[in-house]
């Protein structure tokens, strides 16, 4: 029983660690996709955020300024994507692919010039995103250790769950959210009602970049302590998958990210104890996602106008 609770604590801790960056990026992806712009550039925006966050935190000594700047760096690439796709009517897949090359390309190049290495200098503990409720729980008891594992987590993790609530509220309880969703379903109808589709989509893609940037920043500023070219490997695409999994709803994306995070957590515990081949264990999150899709989720309805450039009628 004791070891079960211990293991459960470790699994939940790892779940939260894996889920947090995915969830930021997935919320970002929601904004973009629901407003009608396919954004496969999430990965590149995350990388930009990861690097910028770490570097700014390193030089200012403040994790929060770094975290914010990570978001802004993501938003910058989001803006590039928005200019190409929303204003100039570019193919969204092509522009997203370009962002995925440009984001990592530019930041790794800057890292090379600044640090003479593709890795940044590791952050000191005070520059990292702090862990909340540290030392609140008595880790000498089994229950205390469990609570410490689950609740003494990074501030960024708490923030992302609050962000899910906010995004859900914005999407379904505000006028802005209604308009946002309408832009992704029938932009022409929106225009006739006086909604500026171009402006809405532009804003949404920038928000999407901002959130992806935050997601990247918490990989390098909370989970790890430095930026490396392999800090962001595929998390952006997993986030996109989680959004499709969640049928383009923030609450669905939360479930998708948690499922994925939980399986990754399981992987950590199984990898340590069971003796099953590590490579096979590493497949679990991906295989489980596919199985859950087949059994419970099925078809995901894409917003009708998703992927189609909107050209304002003259």
Partner 1 sequence: MTKKKSFLEFVSDTRFIHILLSIILGFLVGAIFLVIMGISVGGAYGRLLSSVTGVKGFSYVVVYAIPYIVVGLSVAFSFKTGVFNIGAEGQFVVGSMAAAVVGILGGALPKPLLIPLCFLAAMAAGAIWGIIVGFLKTRWGINEVLSMIMFNWIAFYLSNFIAGIPAIHSDGTAEATKNVSANASTLLSKDFINSMGLCPTANWGILVAIAMTILVWFIIEKTTLGYELKAVGYNKFAAEYGGIHVNRSILTALAISGALAGLGGALQLMGMGGRISVFSSQEGFGFAGIVVALIGCSNPFGVLIAGIFYGALMYGGSKLNLVGAPTQLVNVIVGTVVFFIAISVIFENLKRIQRRAPKTQAPANTEKEADKT
Instruction: Show contacts with partner 1 in window 195-234 (CB under 8 A).
Output: 230, 233-234
CB of 227 closer than 8 Å to CB of 54: yes
* Closer to partner 1 by Cβ: residue 68 or 75: 75
Give the nearest distance from C-beta 237 to partner 1 in angstroms.
5
The single-letter DSSP state of residue 154 is: B
Total residue length of the chain? 314
Q: Using CB under 8 A, which of 237, 249, 251, 271 touches partner 1? A: 237
Say whether residue 84 binds partner 1 (CB under 8 A): yes
Q: How far apart are CA 123 and CA 195, in angstroms?
A: 45
Say whether residue 126 binds partner 1 (CB under 8 A): no
Q: How far apart are CA 292 and CA 252, in angstroms?
A: 13
Say whether residue 102 binds partner 1 (CB under 8 A): yes
Q: How far apart are CA 307 and CA 91, in angstroms?
A: 8
Q: Which of 167, 137, 159 is nearest to 33 (CA)?
A: 167
Say whether residue 100 binds partner 1 (CB under 8 A): yes
Say whether residue 152 binds partner 1 (CB under 8 A): no
As beta bridge partners, residue 154 has 131
Instruction: Show contacts with partner 1 in window 274-293 (CB under 8 A).
Output: 277, 279-280, 282-283, 286-287, 289-290, 293
Rg of the chain over Cα atoms, rounded to whole angstroms, equals 20
Which 3 state secondary structure label does DSSP give 131?
strand
Q: Which residues bind partner 1 (CB under 8 A)?
A: 40, 80, 84-85, 88-91, 93-95, 97-102, 104-106, 108-109, 112-113, 230, 233-234, 237-238, 240-241, 244-245, 277, 279-280, 282-283, 286-287, 289-290, 293-294, 297-300, 302, 309, 311, 314
């Amino acid at each position: 029983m004791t070891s079960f609770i211990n293991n459960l604590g470790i699994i939940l801790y790892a779940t939260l660690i894996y889920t947090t960056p995915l969830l930021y990026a997935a919320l970002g992806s929601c904004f973009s996709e629901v407003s009608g712009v396919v954004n496969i550039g999430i990965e590149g925006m995350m990388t930009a955020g990861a690097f910028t966050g770490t570097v700014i935190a390193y030089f200012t000594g403040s994790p929060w300024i770094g975290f914010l700047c990570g978001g802004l760096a993501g938003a910058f690439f989001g803006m590039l994507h928005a200019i190409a796709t929303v204003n100039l009517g570019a193919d969204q897949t092509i522009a997203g692919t370009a962002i995925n090359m440009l984001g990592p390309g530019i930041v790794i190049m800057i890292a090379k010039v600044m640090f003479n290495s593709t890795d940044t200098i590791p952050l000191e503990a005070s520059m990292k995103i702090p862990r909340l409720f540290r030392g609140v729980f008595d880790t000498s008891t089994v229950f205390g250790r469990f609570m410490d594992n689950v609740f003494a987590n990074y501030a960024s993790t708490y923030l992302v769950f609050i962000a899910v609530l906010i995004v859900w509220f914005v999407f379904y309880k505000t006028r802005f959210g209604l308009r946002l969703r309408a832009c992704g379903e029938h932009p022409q109808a929106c225009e006739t009602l006086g909604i500026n589709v171009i402006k809405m989509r532009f804003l949404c893609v920038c928000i999407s970049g901002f959130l992806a940037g935050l997601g990247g920043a918490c990989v390098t500023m909370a989970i790890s302590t430095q930026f490396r070219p392999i800090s962001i490997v595929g998390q952006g695409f997993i986030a996109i998958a989680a959004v499709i999994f969640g049928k383009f709803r923030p609450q669905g994306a939360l479930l998708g990210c948690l499922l994925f995070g939980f399986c990754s957590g399981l992987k950590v515990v199984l990898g340590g104890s069971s003796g099953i081949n590590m490579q096979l264990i590493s497949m679990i999150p991906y295989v489980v996602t596919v199985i859950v899709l087949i059994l419970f989720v099925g078809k995901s309805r894409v917003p009708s106008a998703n992927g189609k450039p909107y050209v304002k009628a003259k």
